[in-house]
Amino acid sequence: MTLEGILCSACLRPLPVELWSGAEGQRCPFCQAPVLVKVFPAFAQFKSGSLPQPLMADVEASCFYHAQNRAATPCDECGRFLCSLCTLEISGKSLCPVCFETNRRGRKIQDLESSRTMHDSVALALAIFPAFIFWPILVTAPLTLFWIFRHWNSPRSILPRTRVRYYFAGLIALSQIVLIAVVIVAIFMVRR
Amino acid sequence: MNGSSYLRLSPKSRTWTGFSQAWLGSDHLLIVNSNRLVEHYQRFAFADIQAIVVAEGGRRAVWPSAVALVCFALSTWVQITFGKGFFAVIGLAALVFAIVDIARGPRCRCILQTAVSGERLYAISRMRTARSFLTTISPVIEAVQGSAPAEDLAAQRAMTPQIATAESTARPPAIERPLGYTPEILFGLLMLDSVLVFVALQSTFSVAFGLLPTMYFAEFLIGILALVQSRTRSATSVAVLIAAFLCILIDPFALSGAAAWPSVVAVFRQPAAGTDPWNTRMAASGTAMLLAVGWRATMAITGLAVCHFERTAKGE
């Protein structure tokens, strides 16, 4: 028995039900690649979004964005009444699309963050790479120190991560500044 | 270390440009794709994961092994000592690469399936990783979804409707994205640069060489940034931006470049007796100067006007 849905990740053809058990040593009947398949009950469940209910009487509260729809819940941020079409359930909160966007832009809810800049890696790259052609360190060494101070408390990765890159970047930048100072002093002494 | 609620599910699957890694969250699987400077996150709620399919892929140790063999053969064949060393080092590196690849076990392709997508998990790139990944994550997903034999799931799936037929004309409210200010910064810079170009072409070579390259670089950089961010802009703004960027590209070679380079070449080929070429005044022609200053001023005024009208029309 073959159902559309569970596809072999090598040849993208549907895998028969007999292979769904998750047991080792099975092969895709089409490409013969050894496969490991694990299917979960969500595969058999049909999820349909709840449709907004129309307003039946004038006394009923309507959605802020759809005057014809009955309000189902208030937004937890701005308090506007929302129909089920406009309600977004995020991290235990019911939000309207506008507050959702505000939270996303303001990085207020971690679960909405789709990317983060690793300022410690930027500082380290800024400290290391320009040193290969030497003269840019006149600018990049102070810039690295500025970057470290500016972003010391900026949000880091949402994963476990230490500040060790900041320390290394700071050390390298300070060494570069000392080197620049030595070179400048040496030039002055030679000229005299 | 910052407090994190994630547990590592796989080692880093590294590429030339970054890495990918899987983490276990409280109610979701987190896939981190990093290019070293920026981490991108993808979250898959345990309740939404329908299936995980892993297919074993071929070994790629063949190519490094072939490279190693060829290099070792060349190192014995070449007569020059440097050549021998060079090929031996390359061959050794390829051999180490092949051995490490074999030691890490067979590769695989892992796809995580949800109701709306089939996502390739680059973090799961080896069969060994895939097995431990499945062993860890399957009980967690089953704790949320429950468990059922595959045959029952197939039978249930066959009975459930595949397509939602609910027709609804209502749509969630559109979210207006505010316009950025990069084009205004670019056109403001062009206005400022029109003055600076005039100053540079009127002054000595040392001043001109200090000013012009910096200006070109700044205009080029902000021009690219403005074009990248121009998706939400009107067609007129984009057209003006493209025209400005084309002028920026042409300028160092044809417009202000035409004013600067010939005189540079002339002075440095035949410097006047007793004068430092760097302190010689630029001898740009009036037409060239008018062109170099003129296009910047015209573009700046046109661009700023277009941006102003666009903002007024959008009610910002």
- Using a CB–CB cutoff of 8 Å, tell me whether B151 touches chain A: yes
Q: Which of the four pLDDT bands, split at 50, 70 and 90, describes residue A146?
A: very high
Is residue A37 scored above 60 in pLDDT?
yes
| Averaged pLDDT, A163-173 | 95
pLDDT score recorded for residue B297: 92
Which of B53, B148, B164 has the CB atom closest to A8's CB atom?
B53
d(CA A129, CA B277): 35
Q: Which residue has the tokens 């002075």?
A: B267
Beta strands in A19-161 (DSSP E): 26-27, 34-39, 73-74, 81-82, 88-90, 93-95, 115-117
Q: Residue B112 forms beta bridges with which residues?
A: B52, B119
pTM of the full structure = 0.64
CB-based contact A98:A105 (threshold 8 Å) = no
3-state secondary structure chain B: CCCCCCEECCCCEECCCCEEEEEECCCEEEEEEECCCEEEEEEEEHHHCCEEEEEECCCCCHHHHHHHHHHHHHHHHCCCHHHHHHHHHHHHHHHHHHHHHHHCCCEEEEEEECCCCEEECCCCCEHHHHHHHHHHHHHHHHHHHCCCCHHHHHHHHHHCCCCCCCCCCCCCCCCCCCCCCHHHHHHHHHHHHHHHHHHHHHCEHHHHHHHHHHHHHHHHHHHHHHHHCHHHCCHHHHHHHHHHHHHHHHCCCCCHHHHHHHHHHHHHHCCCCCCCHHHCECCCCHHHHHHHHHHHHHHHHHHHHHHHHHHHHHCC
**Closest to A144 in 3D by CA, of A154, A132, A130, A163:** A130
Residues of A in contact with B47 (CB under 8 A): 42
Torsion of CA A3, A4, A9, A15, to 10 degrees: 20
Q: Give chain B's residues under pLDDT 70.
A: 1-4, 58-60, 160-177, 255, 258-260, 262-264, 266-278, 283-284, 316
For chain A, the average pLDDT equals 86
The interface residues of chain B toward chain A in range 176-215, judged by CB-CB distance below 8 A, are none
Q: How far apart are CA A157 and CA B94, in angstroms?
A: 34
Element housing A101 (H / E)? helix A97-105
Task: Examine the pLDDT at A136 and tell me if it is beyond 90.
Answer: no
More confident residue, A78 or B292: A78
If residue A6 lies in a helix (H) or strand (E), which one and from where to where?
Answer: strand A2-7
Chain B nearest C-alpha distance from A185 (Å): 25
How high is the pLDDT of residue A75?
A: 92
pLDDT confidence bin for A2, thresholds 50/70/90: very low
User: A158 to chain B: which residues are within 8 Å by CB?
Assistant: 4, 6, 30, 39, 41
More confident residue, A169 or A90: A169
- pLDDT higher than 50, residue A1: no
Instruction: Write out pLDDT tens, residues B117-145.
Output: 888 999 999 999 999 999 999 999 999 98
- Please give the radius of gyration of chain A, using alpha carbons only, rounded to the nearest integer: 29
- Computed on alpha carbons and rounded to an integer, the radius of gyration of chain B in Å comes to 31
In tens, the pLDDT along A4-27 reads: 578 888 888 888 888 887 778 788
Closest by Cβ to B4, choosing from A101, A113, A159: A159
A51 part of contact set with chain B, CB < 8 Å: yes
Query: CA A69: distance to chain centroid?
Result: 34
Q: What is the pLDDT of residue A166?
A: 95
Q: How far is A59 from chain B (nearest CA, A)?
A: 22
Residues of A in contact with B34 (CB under 8 A): 118
- What are A90-105's pLDDT values in tens digits? 877 888 988 988 888 8
Predicted local confidence at residue A69, as pLDDT: 87
Q: Which residues of B202-215 are buried (b: 16+ CB within 10 A; e: fewer)?
A: eebbebbeebbeeb
Asked if B128 has any chain A CB less than 8 Å from its own CB, the reply is no
Q: Does ipTM exceed 0.90?
A: no
Tokens of B43: 């979250």
